[in-house]
């Protein structure tokens, strides 16, 4: 039977997260450092805090939407130059629906086409505040004649434009990409673009991602530790140390459950919990593993996932506490992360 090595949990630090940290330590294969968490109810996507980079993979929306919300934080030091500044490009496949910009007078615009020179459909009444954080939300309903564009600044409706054409080409939004004038989002005094989120017409609002490392013994420890005294000590290092410390299993059904760090009152509500592990198999034979969360006496697990001979991330999203509905911070504090050999 295949030997499975579970080396470390992915590194996702709290607060502001750099592109390098995201791409190299947690979400390998996601270019540009954007991590989008796909939730099946309400909010569709969450991005962790931290400044993104141009050239990233688009935020794929998992289907076409006639209305979307795009939320983001701006921290500017000056107004853009004459041509303005690109922020987001909304597309339907290869077709460009529209473009969100900040113009030379610090207003937020929605334009048809994919250029800062494209025609302006709607403009915010308010402007970005130099030297301060502003949280903006742009709502767009896509239609060739009855389109709607709404701007929200710091949680308050700023302006609304109705009965306009909001579609340059295509029909529905299926992706959102970062887009900057001059080849950079750092030009013209834009020093901060972060806290980005996108959803459809429900449950919109700002969100952040917090990392919760394992820090103690859980309810099960079937896997064999190497390089440290206990299973959790083999999986708590930041960054991962590959084969220096790890847990191994050769028996189907072996289960580890590990305690994890509490939030210390930092979170008022929990939208979802995503469990990350870093794992590989040690033989050519097929091997699988389930990722899970344990709370109270109830265990929730992912489907069995195939493994590679190289260390890779395996993740699972849990929108509900095991055996219940939704999450409270206290339930998250008491939950244990798990992984099971299902080969």
pLDDT level of residue 180 (50, 70, 90 thresholds): low
pLDDT score of 195 = 63
Task: Kindly tell me the burial class for residue 207, based on how many C-beta atoms sit within 10 Å of its own C-beta (0-12, 13-18, 19 or more).
Answer: buried
Phi, psi (degrees; rounded to nearest 5) at 118: -65, 160
- Same CATH fold assignment for domains 4-12+212-341 and 19-199: yes
- Nearest Cα neighbor of 3 from 236, 284, 229 is 284
Contact 112, 122 (CB under 8 A): no
Angle at 323 between CA 317 and CA 329, to 5 degrees: 65
Please give the average per-residue pLDDT across 272-282, as a whole number.
83
Spell out the domain ranges in the chain. 4-12+212-341, 19-199
Distances (CA, A) of 176 to 61, 191, 244, 257: 8, 21, 40, 37
> Helix, strand or coil for residue 264?
coil
pLDDT level of residue 265 (50, 70, 90 thresholds): low
164 forms bridges with which residues in the sheet? 147
DSSP states along 151-177:
EEETTEEEEEEEEE---SSSSSEEEEE
Which position has the higher pLDDT, 72 or 288? Answer: 288
Asked if CATH classification 2.60.120.200 holds for the domain at 19-199, the reply, yes or no, is yes
| C-beta neighbour count of 172 within 10 angstroms | 16
pLDDT level of residue 28 (50, 70, 90 thresholds): very low
| C-beta neighbour count of 247 within 10 angstroms | 28
Contact 58, 176 (CB under 8 A): yes
Name the most confidently modeled range: 22-26, 177-181, 313-317: 313-317
- Nearest Cα neighbor of 10 from 28, 25, 31 is 25
Give me the CATH code for the 4-12+212-341 domain, please: 2.60.120
Dist CA 79 CA 103 (whole Å): 8
Give residue-wise pLDDT tens across range 184-243.
333 333 446 666 677 765 545 445 556 677 888 999 999 999 999 999 998 887 667 888
Residue linked to tokens 């299993």 = 249
Dist CA 237 CA 311 (whole Å): 15
Dist CA 285 CA 314 (whole Å): 18
Dist CA 59 CA 54 (whole Å): 13
Please give the average per-residue pLDDT across 58-87, as a whole number.
76
Judge whether residue 342 has pLDDT over 90.
yes
Q: Going by C-beta distance under 8 Å and a sequence separation of 6 or more, which residues neighbour residue 29?
A: none
Provide the mean pLDDT of the chain. Answer: 75
pLDDT score of 194 = 65
Distances (CA, A) of 44 to 65, 101, 119, 228, 319: 11, 23, 29, 39, 12
- Nearest Cα neighbor of 280 from 243, 251, 252, 253 is 243
Contact 131, 77 (CB under 8 A): yes
3-state secondary structure 74-95: EEECCCCCCCCEEEEEEEECCE
What would the two tokens of residue 275 be? 């469990």
- Nearest Cα neighbor of 199 from 47, 88, 14, 23 is 47
> Sign (positive/negative) of CA torsion 238, 244, 245, 250?
positive
Give residue-wise pLDDT tens across range 161-176.
999 999 999 999 888 8
Dist CA 235 CA 21 (whole Å): 18
Phi, psi (degrees; rounded to nearest 5) at 187: -80, 165
């Amino acid at each position: 039977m295949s030997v499975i090595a579970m080396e470390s949990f992915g590194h996702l630090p709290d607060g502001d997260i750099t592109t390098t940290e995201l791409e190299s330590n947690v979400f390998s294969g996601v270019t540009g450092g954007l991590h989008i968490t796909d939730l099946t109810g309400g909010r569709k996507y969450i991005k962790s805090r931290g400044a993104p980079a141009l050239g990233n993979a688009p935020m794929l929306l998992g289907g076409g939407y006639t209305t979307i919300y795009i939320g983001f934080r701006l921290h500017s030091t000056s107004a853009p130059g004459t041509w303005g500044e690109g922020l987001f490009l909304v597309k339907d496949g290869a077709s460009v629906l529209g473009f969100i910009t900040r113009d030379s007078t610090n207003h937020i615009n929605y334009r048809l086409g994919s250029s800062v020179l494209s025609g302006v459909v709607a403009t915010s009444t308010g402007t970005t505040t130099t030297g301060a954080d502003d949280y903006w939300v742009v709502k767009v309903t896509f239609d060739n004649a009855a389109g709607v564009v709404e701007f929200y600044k710091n949680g308050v409706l700023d302006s609304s434009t109705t009965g306009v054409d909001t579609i340059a080409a295509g029909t529905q939004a299926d992706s959102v990409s970062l887009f900057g004038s001059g080849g950079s989002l750092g030009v013209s005094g834009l020093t901060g673009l972060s806290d980005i989120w996108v959803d459809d017409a429900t449950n919109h609002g700002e969100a952040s991602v917090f990392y919760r490392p394992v820090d103690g013994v859980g309810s099960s420890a079937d896997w064999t530790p190497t390089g440290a005294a206990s299973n959790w000590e083999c999986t708590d290092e930041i960054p991962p140390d590959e084969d220096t410390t790890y847990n191994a299993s050769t028996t189907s059904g072996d289960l580890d459950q590990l305690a994890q760090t509490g939030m210390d009152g930092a979170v008022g509500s929990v939208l979802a919990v995503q469990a990350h592990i870093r794992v590989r198999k040690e033989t050519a034979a097929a091997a699988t593993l389930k990722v899970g969360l344990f709370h109270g006496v109830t265990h929730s697990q992912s489907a069995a996932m195939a493994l590679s001979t190289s260390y890779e991330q395996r993740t699972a999203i849990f929108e509900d506490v095991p055996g219940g509905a939704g999450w409270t911070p206290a339930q998250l504090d008491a939950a244990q992360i798990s992984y099971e050999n299902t080969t």
